[in-house]
Amino acid sequence: MNSAKQLISPWARLLTLLRQKPSAVDITTTEPHALTAVLEENDRLFKSLLDAFEGMIYICSADYRIEYLNDRMIDHLGVDATGRHCFHAFGRRTICPWCINHRIWQGEIVRWETVSPIDQRWYEVVNAPLHHTDGTMSKCAIMVDINERKCNETELKEHRAHLEDLIRARTSELIQANRQLRLEIEERKAAEITLRENHQRYRSLFEGSRDAIIISDINGRLLDLNEAAVQLTGYSKVEMINKRVPELDASIDLKVYRRQFRRIQAGQVFTGEIQLRRKDGRIIYAEFNSKQMTLAGIACIHTTGRDITERKTAEEALRKSESKYRELVQNANSLIIRFDTMGRIKFFNEFAQHFFGYTEKEILGRSLLDTILPTVRSNGHDISPDIEAFLSDPEQFRINESENMRRNGERVWITWTNRPIFNEQGELEEFLCVGMDITERKRARRQIQNLTHELMKAQENERHRIARDLHDHIAQDLSSLKIRLQTLFETHPPDTDDARGEADGTLAILQRTISDVRNLAYDLRPPGLDQLGLVRTLYLYCDDFSQQNHLKVDFVAAGLDDLVLDEDIQINLYRLIQEALHNVNKHAEARGVTVRLVASSPNLMLRIIDDGKGFNVKDWRSQVNKEKRMGLQSMVERVGLLDGTIDIRSRPGKGAGIFITIPIKEQQRDPQASHSDH
């Protein structure tokens, strides 16, 4: 009986809890080997159900050790973490500060929605207690991907906010339309709240899934279904058992159905949408996922489904709302245009007509190019690649700034908010763009950038002057003083041990002061830039930094032999590497840093990569204004002043990389210059 008791695993306990059916075996009267076989079969059956579940599941004990992971959770974590602590599996060294296990041990079922740090997707999480036969408990955690729903909610909220801005000053009819849209959104929220409240009644994995779960045999005859499936179809379990899947599909095409069913029988996973006919005759839209599985040695088909009628309704409401939106923009105080996938202008509101200098009759049907978009920008950049990128992937250009052109040839800068418009078949039909003139803001920004650049240049010049004074005057005077003191002590040696000790201490302090002054002068303006050239100076700096801080720095430069870079470029490259190494040494806990400086016309490329503890770049960007240490932010600003780009990549535990691209700017080569940049 002891061995049989050990076989009452989490699967058998879960099966009893989730199915809520009494065991068909009397433990007190059944032989141990028969009881063991029954429990093993229950284990296999329940494990198959868990592995086939569309969501992710893990079970952990009271000491936080993982007892079970289904296949989807293993794929999510990237490793089978069975036997490990749950917080280790999710990348933490200690128990998560938000852990709610104490509530689970009190018998509470806890639900919430969260973003996974592994794939940055939204999940709905359900944690429930599992009661052991020996009186102990385990925790069962279920995670269901709700990212698409969250994205839909975000898009709907963004559209609502934008629509309210446009129609605020419109007629009472438009205000009523806006109220109606707000009411629809509130109804959608109320429906979601109702769905979550209903979900709280679920007390087990199978019956508690918010998705309908249907098990059918290999011929499509229904064998079992959960409460969610009953609610979805309107049929009771008794009525559903022995029905065939095609009987529920209102849009069934038997030829298509047979072809799809053969694919499932062949082992493929099939996902799609159907129009489901409920018992009350109402037609709803359902999304489903079907695949073959084995239960108790029998080939079955596992299908999960969910009602997407509300989503379909919301999508249709959104499409109609966009139609209303197009009708409202004619008189808006913004540039509003619409053009097809060939770039032909289909709509041009009055504000745009006044701004660009074209009448509606003159502009409609014409191409964007050479009317409001120049083929070549002021900086000589051909606009064609940008247009191709926009048409191929409009989602990447939801908001963008572009140089535009008025009818009189005047160049202006506009911030555009772009939205692709699709027809009922889901095909991209045209683009809707709302613009705002930012020409004056761009000019002011450029002026600020120029002034900042001049300020940094003046700062470097002042550093140069101070460094020269420190080196040529103070350091030299201190060296002379040291020599004179040494001569004095040699010609008039102290006559006591204490006096000799004081003399030696004075000389040591003086030597440290000389070294500190020279190091300060070097930090203010490395003399090697003028004497040895950029590459040699950087090499010596990296080597010296490595020795002083016990941090391996691997510096390599290429392609700079024949370049005489502008002095501003040289000192800023030096400062960028200097700031990066100081940041790594102070914060990264790294063992090594790789620095690569490569010239590849027309740009210089600087790569600084460390093997430290890394950080969350998104969190850093959101907190940069509150950050006391401004190292990375000062690098971003410095690169911007050089008309370059900077890309910061990092993940916790994966080190960090800084990728900088700066346009090459050479100075006139001095024929008398004797140093080489090697």
Q: Write the pLDDT tens digit of every residue in 202-247.
A: 446 767 778 888 888 877 788 888 888 888 888 888 877 777 766 7
> What pLDDT is stored for residue 674 in this prediction?
39
Residues 6+ apart with CB under 8 A from 336: 329, 330, 347, 349, 351, 352, 432, 433, 434, 435
- Asked whether residue 26 falls in the same domain as residue 93, the answer is yes
**Per-position DSSP letters for 572-627, written without gaps between them:** HHHHHHHHHHHHIIIII--SEEEEEEEEETTEEEEEEEE-S----HHHHHHHTTT-
- Asked whether residue 536 falls in the same domain as residue 460, the answer is no
Identify the segments of the chain with pLDDT beneath 50.
1-24, 199, 202-203, 628-629, 670-678
> What pLDDT is stored for residue 326 in this prediction?
61
> What pLDDT is stored for residue 333 in this prediction?
73
- Asked whether residue 364 falls in the same domain as residue 402, the answer is yes
> What pLDDT is stored for residue 253 in this prediction?
67
Look at phi and psi of residue 667 and say left if phi exceeds 0, alpha if psi is from -120 to 50, else beta. Answer: beta
Q: Are strands 137-145 and 603-610 parallel, antiparallel or unpaired?
A: unpaired
- Asked whether residue 151 falls in the same domain as residue 106, the answer is no
CATH code of the domain containing 22: 3.30.450.20
Between CA 115 and CA 183 the distance in angstroms is: 28
Examine the fold and report which residue of 95, 116, 144 is the final residue of a domain before the chain moves on.
Answer: 144
- Nearest Cα neighbor of 437 from 461, 459, 458, 411 is 411
CB of 212 within 8 A of CB of 225?
yes
- Asked whether residue 269 falls in the same domain as residue 337, the answer is no
Please state, as a whole number, how many other Cβ atoms lie within 10 Å of the Cβ of residue 357: 15
- Asked whether residue 95 falls in the same domain as residue 172, the answer is no
pTM beyond 0.85: the answer is no
The number of folded domains in the chain is 5
- Asked whether residue 304 falls in the same domain as residue 165, the answer is yes
Query: Residue 126 burial (CB < 10 Å; 0-12/13-18/19+)?
Result: buried
- Asked whether residue 11 falls in the same domain as residue 58, the answer is yes
Examine the fold and report which residue of 420, 436, 452 is the final residue of a domain before the chain moves on.
Answer: 436
Give me the domain span that covers residue 108: 2-144
Between CA 113 and CA 94 the distance in angstroms is: 22
> What pLDDT is stored for residue 570 in this prediction?
83
> What pLDDT is stored for residue 532 in this prediction?
76
> What pLDDT is stored for residue 355 in this prediction?
92
- Asked whether residue 168 falls in the same domain as residue 287, the answer is yes
- Asked whether residue 538 falls in the same domain as residue 587, the answer is yes
Residues in a beta bridge with 303: 214, 290
> What pLDDT is stored for residue 629 in this prediction?
45
> What pLDDT is stored for residue 20 in this prediction?
42
- Asked whether residue 159 falls in the same domain as residue 170, the answer is yes
Between CA 568 and CA 643 the distance in angstroms is: 12
- Asked whether residue 174 falls in the same domain as residue 69, the answer is no
> What pLDDT is stored for residue 659 in this prediction?
94
Between CA 506 and CA 500 the distance in angstroms is: 10
Examine the fold and report which residue of 144, 161, 178 is the final residue of a domain before the chain moves on.
Answer: 144
> What pLDDT is stored for residue 388 in this prediction?
84
> What pLDDT is stored for residue 462 in this prediction?
65
Q: For residue 47, which phi and psi values (nearest 5 degrees)?
A: -65, -35
Between CA 287 and CA 232 the distance in angstroms is: 11
